Amino acid sequence: MQKKFIIAIIFNLLLINNSFAVTGNGEIKLSQNVISGYMQYLNMNSIHNKSYGAEVAKGNPNFFAVSKSGRQYGYSYCPRGQSCVFNPTLALQNCRKYANERCYIFDRKRTIVWGNKNYKISRKATNSEIRDILDELGFTGTKKSSTSNSSTTETKSKITKKKKVENNDIVKQIKELNDMFKSGVITKEEFDKAKKKILEQ
């Protein structure tokens, strides 16, 4: 009995190691077809799964595989109420049926593992939020550069500060000019001319 138990543990460890060995790496752009398939896979035990119907809501996501080009996919799930072997083979086989290239594991149990990301997708995540996550992680080819964003923000901040300083100077100059006019140092005509000059700067 103890011997069988040890063999079972070794077998499970080999399966887990195998799942890590077939994990994808490097840059990849997922096609719209793959993104839709990924959302369906995630929605199996999502709180938003009603829109996908009963056949999808009957299981828990297990593995999601993607072809090297990002154009094909395959997944496996564990039907609700059943005990399943945690093995990536079925997801990889389903992917290879339609792909003329190698397939790799992209997700394990709602966690993106491609490129060692280990990003867990919440069951509460909507399709829109899932797409945003894929964008942010660089899987859709539309990731916004954080460097350019910070640079733009910094530039905007500098421009705003500069305008504030300039506006403060203008207000100060006009106030001083107004005081001079009220005290009779300059005439109305001189005041208007000087004011116009300040505003045109």
Tokens of 195: 């004011």
**Model pLDDT for residues 46-102, shown as the tens digit of each residue:** 766 655 555 555 678 999 999 999 999 999 988 877 778 878 999 999 999 988 899
Residue 32 has pLDDT above 60, yes or no: yes
Tokens of 175: 């106030």
CA-wise closest residue to 33 among 76, 69, 9: 69
Element (H, E) at 62: strand 59-67
Tell whether the torsion through CA atoms of 131, 137, 143 and 147 is positive or negative: positive
Residue 165 has pLDDT above 70, yes or no: no
**Model pLDDT for residues 39-57, shown as the tens digit of each residue:** 989 988 776 665 555 555 5
Report how far residue 104's alpha carbon sits from residue 32's, in angstroms, rounded to the nearest whole number: 18
Q: How confident is the model at residue 3 (pLDDT cuts 50, 70, 90)?
A: low
Mean pLDDT for the chain?
77
Report how far residue 50's alpha carbon sits from residue 131's, in angstroms, rounded to the nearest whole number: 19
Report how far residue 74's alpha carbon sits from residue 105's, in angstroms, rounded to the nearest whole number: 9
**Looking at residue 122, what DSSP letter applies?**
P
**Model pLDDT for residues 183-197, shown as the tens digit of each residue:** 777 788 887 887 777
Inter-residue contact 35 to 21 (CB < 8 Å): no
**Looking at residue 43, what DSSP letter applies?**
G
- The pTM of the full predicted model, rounded to 2 decimals, is 0.59
Sorted by where each begins, the domain ranges of the chain are 2-143, 150-200
Backbone angles phi, psi at 176, to 5 degrees: -65, -40
